[in-house]
Structure 1
Amino acid sequence: MKSIEWLSCVERGCGIGQYSELIAQKLLSKDIKVQLHRKGNPNEYTLAFPHRSLRNLRNYVAPFYLKKHLDHLGTKSDVFHADNIDAFTALIYSNKAKGHKNFVTIHDVIPIACAHLNWFQDKYYRFQLKQSIEKSDIIFTVSHFSKKDIIKHTGVAEKKVKVVYNGINHNDLFPNKEKKENKIFTIRYIGGLGVAHKNATALIEVARILEKENIPFLMEIGSGKADLTPLPTLVEKYNIKSVKFSGFIPDDEKRSFLAEADCFLFPSLYEGFGFPPLEAMACGTAVVSSNCASLPEVLGDAALFSDPNPELMAQNVIKIYKSKTLKEDLENRGIEQAKKFTWENTVNELLNHYQS
């Protein structure tokens, strides 16, 4: 294989942006020529294309700027791989659409499954999704749950969709060698707050139940812009004393935030993969999770699962609080479960599909 062009409409900071960045780095470490085309700063393997955000329209205009960038690209490669349907839209309308294999990663179909888009957004999303399905050589997705959901909502042939799991960056996310005992039982969360499928209000409901049960605890919610959600108002309404909004957790602080918790609570209703609880496991923290979507598939037998009912999830948290043996067992099982997911495995599987 001569070279791979990896295409993205987003910067490194978001989830899909990190997915592209880490895969590009791993390909490069295997002495494979790879060029990542994306917004953001250039480096030895990244070509940045100019892009105007136009505020709320940035997701709709980014493919136009990527398409212009590709039209002026002089290199010829064996493989073009778009990290999402927006980047694939740019590819198929560029002059680089023919003469090589075109692949797309569809991480999930949350906009359809959870129906949270307005009329225009929904039409545009479905247009991009249809183009990606019809004009790609292979569709990659990140879990068997996502594969089934993509097939369910689009009717694409099963054989065209290949599952390649995401990885965990174990160089950055690992357990504390000697985990210190917190003065107070500490529950933590990282993830979205403003979209309904994240079910973030369940965090506050769980905290309310724990306070009623007289469980001494601290719940730290790590996510940006909590003040733009109903959560702080809910905390005030219930007069909850044990919840703290910690704001956005930078990458260089994520390991300590996760590793120093006693329990990671994840009440999400829909995940195509589910990075946060798996990252918590990699850091040696016991996980309480909903049993929704891809989460049982990815987390295996290393979490305490229940329906995303606050009462049931609170009872699982209490089990960990009351049993040091259970807590340590979940921590150890979580570490082993997280080891199954590496970017080395991800890239090897992608290369096998490319070469076949």
Structure 2
Amino acid sequence: MTRHIPNRPATLNRDPLVLFDATAVPANRGGVGRYVDGLLGELGGRIEIACQLRDAAHFRSIAPHAAVLPQAIGIESPVRRLIWEQLQLPALARRRGATVIHSPHYTLPLFTTRARVVTLHDATFFSDPHVHTRLKGAFFRLWTRISVRLARQIIVPSQATADEVNRYTRRHVTFVVAHHGVDFDVFHRPTPQQIQQVSKEYDLGEPGWITFLGTLEPRKNLPALIRAYGLVATSMAGTGLLIPPLVLVGARGWDSTIEAEIAALPAVARVKTLGYVPANQLSAILGGAAVMVYPSLGEGFGLPVLEAMACGTPVLTTRCLALPEVGGDAVAYSEPTEVSIATELLALLSAPDRQADLSMRGEKRAQSFTWSSCARTHTLAYRRARAI
């Protein structure tokens, strides 16, 4: 059973001193990085941020109310950072007088007298182990079980994640559901000039491309998307219609099949792989797309879907795990198979009125997902952790 903490105004003299461990955030801001940035930019109360040296100026700029504590160089590797978390983070909390430690990415210090809060982002390490490397899957399954047992408050981004973690750990604990938000300064409907500029920079051609946003990893189901795009391109080739390119945006993960899938496409298909793109260009890439396709096999939240909706981009995704919780009736759905993706994508490309309707619905729905609401829920979780 999951209990939502109601949003109530924060009172500073009731807030514990929270040491927020941001040392695990990667330099390139993917989903977890955007969660941490969005949250810290809105958190009030007494917050201190432990971070890597490279991120100190960044966190000072987005969270001027917080004390930023850059840590010694040498914890950039995951192993060294984990050692630092276990040995140095508890000592840092004692020196700073923190009453709560928030670990925002699965792991937490094993030995500390401080109240621990942890964020668990999804349970796909249990439900879909084949989409992760063996080592990564074993690591995060172990730490999920440990964190569920030790943390006083467990924050998850969706009800689906809460249900899945309870299902696989069999602990039947109470979770705090804090939906992610959107940085509307970054993700918004772009101007035609912004779309033309990004199209020219990345050689995308006329607006109306098909796009994907996310890490290029097996969980995102990109081979099925690429094959589905090949079916769509072949179908459109006989109509005389302009075939839009498929634009893949995101850092390279460990899916080694993508290049071979692209190479096997028919000659009429065009795929552009852009790699990591700075956040300030994403709204134009998304906003210039006819459709953003996100055929994931499972998400703890699905932040790219929400960000595309905020840009007024029609979205086609799956009903796997938390994605319907984010998209509601403002997105189109398919099964995570190439035939289903191709069928729904072709239908959407052939229906401008449907695209316009999803654009309007998605942009409106995105407005209800804010980082300020997410931050209020976190603040109440910190208070509850101190009180237990």
| TM superposition score category, shorter chain reference | 0.7 to 0.9
Deviation of the 1:281 alpha carbon: 0.6
Alignment partner of 1:220: what SS? strand
Deviation of the 1:210 alpha carbon: 1.0
User: What does residue 151 of structure 2 align with?
Assistant: 136
The reply to whether residue 16 of structure 1 matches residue 27 of structure 2 is no
User: What does residue 200 of structure 2 align with?
Assistant: none
> In the alignment, which of 46, 49, 53 is matched to residue 71 of structure 2?
49
CA contact (8 A) 2:106 2:143 kept: yes
Percent identity of paired positions between Structure 1 and Structure 2: 21
> In the alignment, which of 193, 200, 208 is matched to residue 185 of structure 1?
208
> In the alignment, which of 304, 307, 311 is matched to residue 283 of structure 1?
311
Give the residue type in structure 2 aligned to 1:203. L
Q: Residues 336, 236 of structure 1: CA spacing in aligned structure 2 closer, same or farther, 3 A cutoff?
A: same
Which stretches in structure 1 are left out of the alignment for 5+ residues?
none
CA RMSD in angstroms, aligned pairs only: 2.4
Alignment partner of 1:221: what SS? strand
Alignment partner of 2:365: what SS? helix
The reply to whether residue 112 of structure 1 matches residue 126 of structure 2 is yes
User: What does residue 203 of structure 1 align with?
Assistant: 225
CA distance in 2, matches of 1:164, 1:211: 40
1:96-111 to 2 correspondences below 5 Å? 97-98=112-113, 100-111=114-125
Q: Residues 333, 252 of structure 1: CA spacing in aligned structure 2 closer, same or farther, 3 A cutoff?
A: same
CA contact (8 A) 1:51 1:65 kept: no
Deviation of the 1:178 alpha carbon: 5.8
User: What does residue 82 of structure 1 align with?
Assistant: 103
| TM superposition score normalised by structure 1 | 0.87
Number of aligned positions between the proteins: 341
1:231-246 to 2 correspondences below 5 Å? 231-240=258-267, 241-246=269-274
CA distance in 2, matches of 1:15, 1:149: 19
| TM superposition score normalised by structure 2 | 0.81
CA contact (8 A) 2:38 2:182 kept: no
Deviation of the 1:109 alpha carbon: 1.9
Alignment partner of 1:271: what SS? coil
CA contact (8 A) 1:185 1:321 kept: no
Deviation per CA, 1:32-68: give whole Å up to 9, x if none. Answer: 22111122332443322235468xxx33331212334
Deviation of the 1:75 alpha carbon: 0.9
Alignment partner of 1:285: what SS? coil
Deviation of the 1:120 alpha carbon: 5.2
1:305-320 to 2 correspondences below 5 Å? 305-320=333-348
Deviation per CA, 1:222-241: give whole Å up to 9, x if none. Answer: 12338973222222223343
Q: Residues 312, 223 of structure 1: CA spacing in aligned structure 2 closer, same or farther, 3 A cutoff?
A: same
Identify the range of structure 1 (176-185 vs 291-300) with the bigger mean alpha-carbon deviation.
176-185
Identify the range of structure 1 (106-115 vs 333-342) with the bigger mean alpha-carbon deviation.
106-115
